[in-house]
């Protein structure tokens, strides 16, 4: 008898749970008419909040401020949510068509139930996300990447020139520094060393910007290279005019202590046209450039002009040896001596020492070295 009673109670419980479940399911369907417009309104609010925050982040990035990771995560979650909610709303006319009996029943109950449940869940998620998005600040107040470290190889015999340039950089009276010298003497190598040195120095500038100028000098090309460094990366910026870009670059740099490194100038670069504020004692900023000719240094009104010299005999031999390799140099007792004569004929020019050194790396016959000396006379 006891057993029979417990089986009955168990069965009633089962029925009750089943009923509650059916009512719950039906509830999702019945409420669809109310929840859908509520979801649309919530989506609108989320979109507006996302747009406002994205705008703040864009402005912060333009000012070289790094957005908080939490803010970026919030934005990316918002993006996913918006896409999901839009999909649900897009599906809604089809789902509403399934409803009948005053919207409390459906021709496809399972599908309407699932849809209703998803709508309620989405609404809850959006409301939670909107309430989590009340950030007081979207970015920290420090530069995102003040120096982009460039690939470098350990140069030979450049230490004293680096020191000389650095001495000018710390001198607050010097704003523009011109580095000049023969093609292949190591100007770009030197500028790279200077660029990378900024990443380890305590006397931090707000931003260090590198731009290659080259023979086909073009204001817009320089602006695009510089713009990428200071947060102007979007296509809408790229479609702006040269004047507008100059205003934007100027707007960012005028409040910064900046270093602009321009490599390989063949003629005067008009700083105003590019949007580079003139370095001065007041702004503490620097412009360092390389050029082959001393005249360009004059045209740029550089008060400091530093000549990049060829390597002395000892350093030239070091660089040449590195490129030829010991195996070849020791392959015959006469080769070392002949190799020193070849190195001397390169006149201390790193580019020549490297190119000829590499070409001779496989020459193990004495006659080939003698021939090289003859050719270089």
Ligand X SMILES: Nc1ncnc2c1ncn2[C@@H]1O[C@H](COP(=O)(O)OP(=O)(O)OP(=O)(O)O)[C@@H](O)[C@H]1O
Binding site for Mg ion (CB under 5 A): 187-188, 264
Using CB under 6 A, which of 50, 63, 129, 187 touches ligand X? Answer: 187
* Separation between Cα atoms, residue 364 and residue 329, nearest integer Å: 8
Q: Give whichever of 29 and 158 is closer to ligand X, judged by the CB atom.
A: 158
How far, in Å, CA of 283 to CA of 258, rounded?
A: 8
Cα dist. 232→20, 67, 252, 274, 350 in Å?
Answer: 58, 15, 10, 14, 37
- The answer to whether residue 357 forms part of the interface with ligand X (CB under 6 A) is no
Smallest distance, ligand X to C-beta of residue 209, A: 18
**CA pair distance 285, 253, nearest whole angstrom:** 9
Binding-site partner at residue 292 among ligand X, Mg ion, none, CB < 5 to 8 Å by type:
ligand X
Among 133, 186, 227, 357, binds ligand X (CB under 6 A): 186
Whole-number Cα distances in Å, 80 to 38, 129, 135, 353: 19, 12, 19, 57
Cβ-based nearer residue to Mg ion, 185 or 372: 185
Residue selected from 95, 112, 118, 189 as contacting ligand X according to rule CB under 6 A? 189
Closest CA to 315 of 164, 183, 197, 154: 154
* CA distances (Å), origin 129, targets 34, 75, 224, 374: 21, 10, 37, 78
**Is there binding between residue 165 and ligand X (CB under 6 A)?**
no
Chosen residue from 116, 143, 155, 227 binding ligand X by CB under 6 A: 155
Nearer to Mg ion, 187 or 304 (CB): 187
User: To the nearest whole angstrom, how small is the minimum distance from the Cβ of residue 274 to ligand X?
Assistant: 20
Between 261 and 339, whose beta carbon lies closer to Mg ion?
261
| Rounded least distance, CB 263 to Mg ion, Å | 6
Alpha helix (H) residue ranges in the chain: 2-30, 32-62, 69-97, 109-132, 159-170, 187-198, 219-229, 235-238, 242-253, 271-274, 294-299, 313-324, 326-329, 335-345, 350-360, 366-375
State the Cα angle at 42 between 26 and 135, rounded to 5°. 135
Q: Of residues 75, 89, 105, 354, which one binds ligand X by CB under 6 A?
A: 354
Our CB check for ligand X shows the closer of 151 and 367 to be 151
Nearest CB to ligand X, comparing residues 145 and 359 = 359
| Buried residues in 83-96 as b, exposed as e (16+ CB within 10 A) | ebbeebbeebeebe
350 binds ligand X (CB under 6 A): yes
Q: Are 373 and 341 in contact (CB under 8 A)?
A: yes
Are the CB atoms for 266 and 214 separated by under 8 Å? yes
Minimal distance in Å, beta carbon 353 to Mg ion?
A: 16
Q: Are the C-beta atoms of 76 and 158 separated by less than 8 Å? A: no
**Segment contacting ligand X by CB under 6 A, of 153-161, 168-176, 298-306, 367-375:** 153-161
Beta bridge partner(s), residue 305: 178
Nearer to Mg ion among residue 62 and residue 188 (C-beta):
188
Token pair in block for residue 69: 């990771």
Site for ligand X in 241-280 (CB under 6 A): 264
Residue from 185, 297, 306, 342 binding ligand X (CB under 6 A): 185
Total site size for ligand X, rule CB under 6 A = 19
Q: Please, which of residues 304-323 interact with ligand X by CB under 6 A?
A: 319
Query: Which residue's beta carbon is nearest to the bound ligand X?
Result: 186
Return residues touching ligand X (CB under 6 A).
153, 155-158, 181, 183-189, 264, 292, 319, 350-351, 354
């Amino acid at each position: 008898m006891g057993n029979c009673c417990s089986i009955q109670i168990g069965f009633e419980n089962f029925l009750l749970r089943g009923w509650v479940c059916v009512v719950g399911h039906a509830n999702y369907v019945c409420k669809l008419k109310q929840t859908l417009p509520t979801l649309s309104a919530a989506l609108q609010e989320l979109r507006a909040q996302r747009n406002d925050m994205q705008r703040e982040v864009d402005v912060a990035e333009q000012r070289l401020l790094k957005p908080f990771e939490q803010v970026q995560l919030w934005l990316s979650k918002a993006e996913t949510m918006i896409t999901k909610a839009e999909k649900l709303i897009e599906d809604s006319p089809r789902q509403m068509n399934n409803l009948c009996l005053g919207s409390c029943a459906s021709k496809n109950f399972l599908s309407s139930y699932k849809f209703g449940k998803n709508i309620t869940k989405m609404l809850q998620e959006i409301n939670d996300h909107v309430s989590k998005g009340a950030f007081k600040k979207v970015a920290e107040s420090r530069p995102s990447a003040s120096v982009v470290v460039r690939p470098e190889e350990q140069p030979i015999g450049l230490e004293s020139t680096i020191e000389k340039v650095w001495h000018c950089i710390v001198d607050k009276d010097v704003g523009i520094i011109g580095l000049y010298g023969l093609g292949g003497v190591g100007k770009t190598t030197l500028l790279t060393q200077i660029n990378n040195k900024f990443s380890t120095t305590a006397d931090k500038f707000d931003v260090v910007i590198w731009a290659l100028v080259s023979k086909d000098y073009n204001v817009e090309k320089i602006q695009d290279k510089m713009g990428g460094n200071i947060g102007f990366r979007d296509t809408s910026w790229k479609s702006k005019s040269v004047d507008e870009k100059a205003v934007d670059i100027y707007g960012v740099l005028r409040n910064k202590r900046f270093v602009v490194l321009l490599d390989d100038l063949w003629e005067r670069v008009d700083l105003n046209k590019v949007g580079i504020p003139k370095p001065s004692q007041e702004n503490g900023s620097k412009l360092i450039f390389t050029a082959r000719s001393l005249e360009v240094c004059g045209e740029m009104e550089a008060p400091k002009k530093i000549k990049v010299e060829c390597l002395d005999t000892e350093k030239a031999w070091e660089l040449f040896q590195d490129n030829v390799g010991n195996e070849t140099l020791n392959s015959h007792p006469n080769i070392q001596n002949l190799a020193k004569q070849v190195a001397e004929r390169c006149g201390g020019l790193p580019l020549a020492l490297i190119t000829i050194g590499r070409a001779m790396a496989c020459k193990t016959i004495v006659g080939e070295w003698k021939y090289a000396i003859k050719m270089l006379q």
